[in-house]
Amino acid sequence: ELSCLVAFELKIGKFKLSSCFLDSGCPSKSKSYINLRSDRTCELYTYITLDQAGDKYIGTYEISGNFLIMHFDSHTYKMFDYDTKQASDIFAEVDMDIRYKIESDYIISNDSYKFKYAE
């Protein structure tokens, strides 16, 4: 039995979080996104409402078959201190990849999240 891979033309731009498959700690759907730029740079941002904390990863991406592979080299954790009412950023250099299956031109997903093209 032969199976064919459908080649999708993944949209470039902002994808908003549409589904979370985690047992707990799901980020805000309205504030979490992946931004793919035409110069092959990307940004992944997740915002946890309860903690008033955000994670931002910056790097590059490639498309291999029906997969979007993002390579991140920097991470900023924005945290909020309830006692002092101050926000602070913690920056770290990272070397990590996150992979998403391209379901269509407008949808990407993995075991944790599904994102849909927004703009």
Q: CA-based angle 110:106:12, to the nearest 5? A: 100
Q: pLDDT class for 1, splitting at 50, 70, 90?
A: very low
Taking alpha carbons only, the member of 93, 100, 91, 25 closest to residue 61 is 100
Q: What is the pTM of this model?
A: 0.85
**3-32 confidence digits (pLDDT tens):** 555 567 899 999 999 999 999 889 999 999
Average pLDDT over residues 63-92: 88
**pLDDT of 47 above 60:** yes
**Cβ atoms of 72 and 91 closer than 8 Å:** no
DSSP 22-83: -SS-PPPTTT-EEEE-TTSEEEEEEEETTTTEEEEEEEEEEEETTEEEEEEEEEEEEEEETT
